[in-house]
Copies of this chain bind each other. A is one copy, B any other.
């Protein structure tokens, strides 16, 4: 409607309309414990707030309490797939239900130090998909910011999803199909080591447990020719099945096998991770390992809430949510 200066509606406005003091408004709206408010004024306040469309200023609240209700999720600079995307959606819903607001910051290399960001926002918690320096961690902790490390080398901190388990499931599926000499298709991207290493470790562990030879790891670029080269080397070493870091790498392997004039799964079996939409559209349809992002998102939310209130984090029922989608490629 009219010109610029429509002032923000504050709790003072609500108080005036309800005919009470500002403090009373605050007590009512926050359900402050140990404060007794009569039912009459309570509804009067609630009414006034609704009528005015009042919503408190996050800035003022944060300033006063020293802590905001924002949960900051720091993404790494590697490309995020639809998996992460949908998980973030779930996470956001779950956190909303706890009165928290999820906010995601995409990583970018030329970033000013992270310090700036969290010092500026003062979030209630930080979900880190990237590694912090020890200095940052202690600083944040002493500033009262809860930290949830979604990926971390440090022992004891729980990963959101145990990536070892993913690799293990891949290997199990292949060995149960009779394969004894496995390969691992490593991604051609330094930035995803965090994820790739533990998956490879899982495959190794599974092989070791069955007294099978160590899997043969090769880097597979997302390029048919380069992938074909990798396929040749695997076949030369007697590998009959490969676990790929993810579905994209798996598709590259598929392309490589085609390029060699061979067929999947007869000449080489392939299994991926993620179940991205193209997986079921591939030739042949890609067998892959998927994790239930709904559960992961909910669990991550629970972990965040626990971390904020200082309680212990719940366990993730990891074994139940990582499962093989059986198609044709393996």
Contacts and interface: CB of A to CB of B under 8 A. Distances in A.
A222 interface: yes
Contacts of A58: 59, 120-122
Contacts of A120: 55-58, 101
A102 interface: yes
Residue with the greatest number of chain B CB neighbours at <10 A, chosen from A91, A115, A278: A278
A94 to B, nearest CB: 9
A1 interface: yes
Contact of A79 (B4, B82, B90): B82
A251 B224 contact: no
Given A280-B223, A281-B224, A6 B105 contact: no
B85 A110 contact: no
A110 B55 CA distance: 19
Given A104-B104, A105-B103, A86 B82 contact: no
Contacts of A224: 280-281, 285
B105 A92 contact: yes
A4 B310 CA distance: 13
B281 A222 contact: yes
Contacts of A223: 280
Contacts of A198: none
Contact of A310 (B1, B138, B310): B1
A96 interface: yes
Interface in A109-150: 110-112, 115-117, 119-122, 138-139, 141-144
Contacts of A105: 92, 101-104
Nearest to A87: B106
A60 interface: yes
Contacts of A285: 224
A213 interface: no
A63 B57 contact: yes
Contacts of A172: none
A104 to B, nearest CB: 4
A23 to B, nearest CB: 19
Contacts of A85: 79-80, 85, 106
A243 interface: no
Given A142-B4, A310-B1, A106 B81 contact: no
A143 B280 contact: no
A139 B247 CA distance: 45
A2 interface: yes
Interface of A: 1-2, 4-6, 8, 53, 55-60, 62-63, 66, 68, 77, 79-82, 85-86, 88-93, 96, 101-108, 110-112, 115-117, 119-122, 138-139, 141-144, 222-224, 227, 247-248, 251-252, 254-255, 258, 276-278, 280-283, 285, 310
20 contacts: A5-B142, A55-B120, A58-B121, A59-B59, A59-B63, A59-B122, A77-B89, A89-B106, A89-B108, A92-B105, A93-B110, A93-B111, A103-B103, A104-B105, A223-B280, A224-B280, A247-B278, A248-B278, A248-B281, A255-B283
